[in-house]
Chains A and B, each alone.
Chain A
Amino acid sequence: MATAVERSATAPLSSAPADATGRRPPRPRAFDQPRFLKFFTAVVFLYLFAPIFVVFLFSFNSKRSTQIFATFSLRWYDVLIHDQSMLGSLWASIEVAFVTMLAGTVIGTLLAFGLVRSNSRVNRPADVLMLLNLVSPEIVTAIALLLVFSEVGSILTPLGFKLGLSLTTVALGHITWSIPYVTIIVRGRLASLNREVEEAAQDLGATNLQAMRLVTLPLLWPAIIASALLVFVMSFDDFVTSYFVSGIDLEPLPIRIYTMIHFGVTPEINAIGTIMMLVTISIVLLALFIYSRQQRARLTFLAE
């Protein structure tokens, strides 16, 4: 009762607006006024989005020109869906991205578990190996793979095996650089999980496997799925590794676009570029949504 009275007595005071005292907050000085910063930021956002918007816009141009927008048309999308080699490349990119996503996510997640849960002398070297792979410039890792694939290929060919450059070598390359991204994202979430929850499940009679399946994995899924989607997009977009280790018969989409640009600008590139952007951006948004929704879920879980 007393607390209720106290609360009602102090409530109007604490909720009174600050300017009730009659003083206005001091005017911020010029440098502190975010007006310039806001303007600057707006210009930077324009710089970030204008170029890709132009690609998007001119993909719907009825004329071949990339200077003057005539009228809206789906002409270039029509050209696109009749371009068999382009569709082949699109399919090849999706295939590689899918394989990379599966393999990279599994291997990267296992590595994250190993790094967080085990305690051995190889932890530190494994961690350094992963980070080194992350920071190594892609042109270097791609050329290294090219040399290995062709050398191993020349050893295997007389033995009757074949390891020419193909979509397989592209996928092997993509999986290699994808591992650290998965490991870092999953490890971050895994390390923040409260280990005691899993132990509580075990105290309640769950086996190790049940505790993992019923407690740890449900909390970890969003991070795993988000990293999988991220890897899919990065593989789908990849240029450098694909450029060096893809075969000549079937090129992934970015390599195909690269070749086309050398023959000049055609709005067909805008059309395929627009499709690629829509695919990747929607997958990234999905990944961010899954990842951030879980953060909220985790907070309520802790609050309970």
Chain B
Amino acid sequence: MSANRLWRLLLLPGGLWLLVLFIAPFGMVIAISLATTDFLGRPVFGFYPENYTQAFDPLFIPVLLRSVGFSVATTLLCLVIGYPVAYMIARYAGRFKNLLVVLIILPWFADYLVRIYAWFVLLGDEGVVNGALRFLGFHGNPPVIFLNTPTAVIGGLVYDYLPFMILPIYAALERMDPSLIEAGKDLYGTPLQTFLNVTWPATIQGVIAGSVLVGLPAVGDFATVQILGGPNTYMIGNLIQDQFTAGGFWPLGAALTIVLMAILSVLIVIYMRSAARPSEAF
């Protein structure tokens, strides 16, 4: 057996695993999105495209639009917050660079749910912030209603995914030759001109990668809304979740999942084509 044949064999376990537990299940979602159910709620396969008509029910349209809107807002906020941080670390952190990068990712590894819960503890009606406001003499019960608002949900989403924006931008800034900035200055560019004409174009790949890495999971997020939001902030992930918990209609849930995937495939294609990969940040 030639060495190449041997190495090729090693593709088999992983390849097969992903075919059986990633690609085939996705086929099952498509099949069930076109199925109906029997009286026990079990799927009966067939061709019922009305599931998709139902997915675009006028009741659901605002939810779909909100999901995209929240995701875009989250991505922009992460960019506005994350770019300066990445810039600061890449250019001015000196020997603390690696430490600061580690500190950026570390909170992300504190459990996802615990982090959302932390905001619940902070912002709840009986939370830390309202407690402090009450102590300071603010009236009302609670003084400020934070939860169940778009602000709380978007704030939570930004907290969830901010490191994914910072890391690729940081990696792009690190790859960039700093003397380019000097050159920009030598050519009498103002700092703003230098940034817009030199730094920004040089790091656009990182910005694209970061935006996809933030925007993608944000559209489908449902736990953040479950804990920090409410009916006013429902997102597509919550609609899908409802269909797969007691009393839900699986085919509709599957159709909504396909719709979500279709929205996200645009982002996935951008990401797969983009040269920057998240692994390069490490």
Binding site for B on A (CB under 8 A): 29, 31-32, 34, 37-38, 40-41, 44-45, 47-52, 54-55, 58, 66-68, 106-108, 110-111, 113-115, 117-120, 122-123, 126, 128-133, 135-141, 143-148, 151, 154, 172-173, 175-176, 179, 183-185, 188, 208, 233, 236-240, 243-244, 254, 257-258, 261, 265, 269-270, 273, 276-277, 280-281, 284-285, 288, 291-292
Q: Is the CB of B260 within 8 A of A137?
A: yes
Given the complex, which residues of B lie within 8 Å of A51, measured CB to CB? 115, 118-119, 121-122, 159
**CB-based closest 7 A-B pairs:** A67-B131, A111-B14, A144-B25, A118-B7, A51-B118, A114-B11, A114-B10
Contact of A281 with B14 at beta-carbon distance under 8 Å, contacts A51-B122, A151-B43 already known = no
Whether, in the assembled complex, B192 has its beta carbon less than 8 Å from a beta carbon of chain A, the answer is yes
Asked whether A147 lies within 8 Å of B254 as measured between CB atoms, the reply is yes
CA distance A278 to B143 in the complex (A): 33
Is B117 in contact with A114, judged by CB distance below 8 angstroms? no
Map CB proximity to A onto B198-215 as digits: 1 under 8 Å, 0 otherwise: 000000000000001000
Interface of B is mostly: helix
- Residue numbers in B under 8 Å from A38 (CB-CB): 88, 92
B14 touches A37 (CB 8 A): no
Pull 13 A–B residue pairs with CB atoms less than 8 Å apart, ordered by A.
A31-B192, A41-B89, A52-B114, A55-B114, A67-B128, A135-B212, A136-B261, A151-B28, A254-B112, A261-B113, A261-B117, A265-B124, A277-B114
B122 close to A54 (CB less than 8 A): yes
Q: In the complex, how many angstroms separate the beta carbon of A8 from the nearest chain B beta carbon?
A: 31
**A261 surroundings in chain B (CB, below 8 A):** 113, 117, 120, 227
Who on chain B is nearest to A49 by CB? B107
- A55 and B19 form a contact (CB under 8 A): no
Least CB separation from A30: chain B residue:
B191
- In whole angstroms, what is the CA distance A268 to B130 when docked? 21
Q: Which one of B51-59, B171-179, B217-225 contacts A?
A: B217-225
Q: Is residue B104 contacting chain A, with contact meaning CB distance below 8 A?
A: yes
Give B78 Cβ to nearest chain A Cβ, in Å.
11
Which residues of chain B are within 8 angstroms of A34 by Cβ–Cβ distance? 88, 91-92
> Given the interface contacts A31-B192, A137-B219, A280-B109, does A143 sit within 8 Å of B29 by beta carbon?
yes
Decide if A280 touches B110 in the complex (CB within 8 Å): yes
Find A288's partner among B22, B23, B102, B107 (CB 8 Å cutoff). B102
- CB-CB under 8 A from B22, the residues of chain A are 129, 132-133, 136, 141, 144, 176
**A115 adjacent to B11 (CB under 8 Å):** yes
Question: What is the minimal beta-carbon distance from A184 to any residue of chain B, in angstroms?
Answer: 5
Q: Which range holds the interface residue count of chain B?
A: 35 or more
Kindly identify which residue among A55, A144, A244 contacts B121, using a CB–CB cutoff of 8 Å: A55
**Given A139-B257, A265-B124, A188 and B159 contact (CB-CB distance below 8 Å):** no
Chain B residues with Cβ under 8 A from A115's Cβ? Answer: 11
B120 CB to nearest A CB, Å: 7
Are B98 and A122 neighbours in the complex by a CB distance under 8 Å?
A: no
**Closest residue to A183 on the B side, CB-wise?**
B14
Q: B88 contacts A37, CB within 8 Å?
A: yes
1/0 contact string of B1-45 vs chain A (CB within 8 Å) = 001100111111111011101111110110010000000001100
* Measured CA separation A1–B183 after assembly (Å): 41
B88 and A40 contact, CB distance less than 8 A: yes
CB-CB under 8 A from A145, the residues of chain B are 21, 25
A41 and B10 within 8 A (CB)? no
The reply to whether A111 and B10 form a contact with Cβ atoms under 8 Å apart is yes
Contact A237–B25 (Cβ < 8 Å): no
Total residue contacts A-B, CB cutoff 8 A: 261
Q: Does B240 touch A at the CB level, under 8 Å?
A: yes
Q: Which A residues are in CB contact (< 8 Å) with B88?
A: 34, 37-38, 40-41
Bound-state CA distance A280–B113 (Å) is 13
Are A120's CB and B13's CB within 8 A?
Answer: no
Q: In the assembled complex, which residues on chain B have CB atoms less than 8 Å from the CB atom of A173?
A: 21
Query: Quick check: is B154 within 8 A (CB to CB) of the other chain?
Result: no
Q: Which residues does chain B contribute within 8 Å of A45, judged by CB atoms?
A: 103
How far, in angstroms, from A44 to B190 measured CA to CA in the complex? 27
Whether B29 contacts A147 by the Cβ 8 Å rule is yes
The chain B residue sitting closest to A134, CB to CB, is B278
In the complex, residue of chain B having the shortest beta-carbon distance to the beta carbon of A176: B21
B272: CB under 8 A from chain A?
A: yes
Least Cβ–Cβ distance between B43 and chain A, in angstroms = 7
Assess whether B79 is interfacial by the CB under 8 Å rule: no
User: Could you say which residues of chain A place their CB within 8 Å of the CB of B220?
Assistant: 137-140
Complex Cα gap A239–B92 (Å): 37
In the complex, the chain A residue whose C-beta lies closest to that of B8 is: A118
- Complexed CA–CA distance, A90 and B208 (Å): 38
Q: Across the interface, do A185 and B21 meet the contact criterion of CB distance under 8 Å?
A: no
A281 to B106, CA, bound (A): 7
